[in-house]
């Protein structure tokens, strides 16, 4: 989640960078597909499809950035920031589908190798490598603070590596007429796409499943609350990521007997400790006096006061 990140890029300048990256990637995709069809290179078409997915991911990222900046309203009381996480999930899912499709096409080529024009592959892949480098440069700064943009940035790094692999394949075809190198490179590109996508999609799903921040131990958060003077217990806790950069905690906190007049001060100390130690700014605490605390409380979740028990 990256608490404490402050790598902010001016929104409008960031939008211009993303738009520029989309333009160069779409142009490259068309050139690679045409070149792949003319040369007969599956590896070049594979690289083009990956590059096209990058362009689409950038378009989704562009739209998500715009939506995420909308203010909170009655329908979205938490705001629209999580739309960028949804966009990242769409992008990685699409990449997984593309990776599996490329493996299938490569298997068909292994069974029936096709003639390939090596020189055209090398030229177009060389151009692709330059474009990938430009796109990566445009999105690098923003990738540090956005899971959405980071997905696109990592795609471009993978594209650059794919372009290098295609150049190597084209060179080997020119020198040795080794046709099997084309589907072999396709398998390598597809494998990298799948490895990268499965690695990155986990944290995205964790956010959407309301999981706790992976770098913060939930027990450490609860222990911090328990250590506050005036607190005798905490239960019914929910600790989750609101979006990539913000965590939230809501819980029932038991105030020590005889300290109820100090309850507001205890609550303030809890919030200050959570903010200072874990950068948790959003906390909702239900205070209970020790004499009237929840019966048989669970540490996480559970029923609150006044909720019906259904058998």
Query: Of the ranges 40-54, 108-122, 176-190, which is most confident?
Result: 176-190
34 and 123 assigned to the same domain: yes
Q: What is the pLDDT of residue 221?
A: 95
One domain, residues 73 and 172? yes
Task: Please check whether residue 1 lies inside any domain of the structure.
Answer: no
The answer to whether residues 107 and 225 belong to one domain is no
Q: Whole domain around residue 57: which residue ranges?
A: 11-208
Band (11; pLDDT cuts 50, 70, 90):
low
Lowest-confidence range among 5-14, 38-47, 272-281?
Answer: 5-14
Whether residue 181 sits in one domain with residue 50: yes
Same domain, 278 and 148: no
Identify whether 5 is part of a domain.
no
Straight-line distance from the first to the last Cα atom of the chain, in angstroms, rounded to the nearest whole number: 39
The answer to whether residue 283 scores a pLDDT higher than 90 is yes
Q: What is the CATH number of the domain that holds 248?
A: 3.30.70.1350
167 belongs to a structural domain: yes
Q: What is the dihedral of CA 18, 21, 23, 25, to 10 degrees?
A: -140
Both 203 and 234 in one domain: the answer is: no
Segment of 30-39, 65-74, 257-266 carrying the highest mean pLDDT: 257-266
Mean pLDDT of the chain: 82
Is the predicted pLDDT of residue 47 greater than 80, yes or no? no
Choose the final residue of a domain: 155, 189, 208.
208
Instruction: Tell me the CATH number at 110.
Output: 1.20.1510.10
- With 60 as the cut, is the pLDDT of residue 292 above it? yes
Q: pLDDT: is 302 or 190 the higher one? A: 190
- For the chain, the domain total comes to 2
Q: Is residue 3 part of a domain?
A: no
With 50 as the cut, is the pLDDT of residue 305 above it? no
């Amino acid at each position: 989640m990256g608490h404490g990140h402050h790598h902010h890029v001016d929104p409008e300048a960031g939008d211009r960078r993303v738009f520029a990256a989309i333009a160069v990637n779409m142009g490259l995709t068309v050139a690679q597909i045409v070149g792949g069809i003319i040369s007969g290179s599956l590896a070049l078409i594979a690289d083009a499809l990956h590059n096209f997915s990058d362009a689409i991911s950038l378009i989704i990222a562009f739209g998500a950035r715009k939506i995420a900046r909308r203010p909170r309203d009655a329908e979205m009381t938490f705001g629209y920031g999580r739309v960028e996480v949804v966009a990242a999930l769409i992008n990685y899912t699409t990449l997984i589908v593309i990776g599996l499709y490329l493996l299938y096409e490569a298997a068909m080529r292994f069974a029936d190798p096709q003639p390939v024009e090596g020189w055209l592959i090398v030229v177009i892949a060389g151009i692709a490598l330059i474009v990938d480098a430009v796109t990566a440069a445009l999105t690098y700064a923003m990738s540090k603070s956005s899971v959405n943009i980071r997905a696109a940035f990592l795609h471009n790094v993978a594209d650059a590596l794919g372009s290098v692999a295609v150049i190597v394949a084209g060179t080997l075809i020119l020198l040795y007429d080794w046709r099997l190198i084309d589907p072999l490179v396709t398998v390598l590109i597809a494998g990298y796409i799948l490895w990268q996508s499965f690695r990155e999609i986990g944290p995205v799903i964790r956010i959407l499943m309301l999981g706790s921040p992976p770098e913060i131990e939930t027990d450490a958060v609860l222990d911090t609350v328990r250590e506050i003077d005036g607190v005798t217990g905490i239960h019914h806790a929910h600790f989750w990521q609101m979006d990539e950069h913000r965590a939230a905690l809501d819980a029932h906190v038991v105030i020590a007997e005889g300290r109820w007049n100090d309850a507001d001060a205890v609550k303030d100390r809890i919030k200050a400790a959570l903010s200072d130690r874990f950068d948790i700014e959003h906390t909702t605490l239900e205070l209970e006096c020790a004499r009237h605390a929840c019966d048989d409380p669970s540490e996480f979740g559970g029923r609150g006061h006044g909720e019906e028990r259904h058998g």
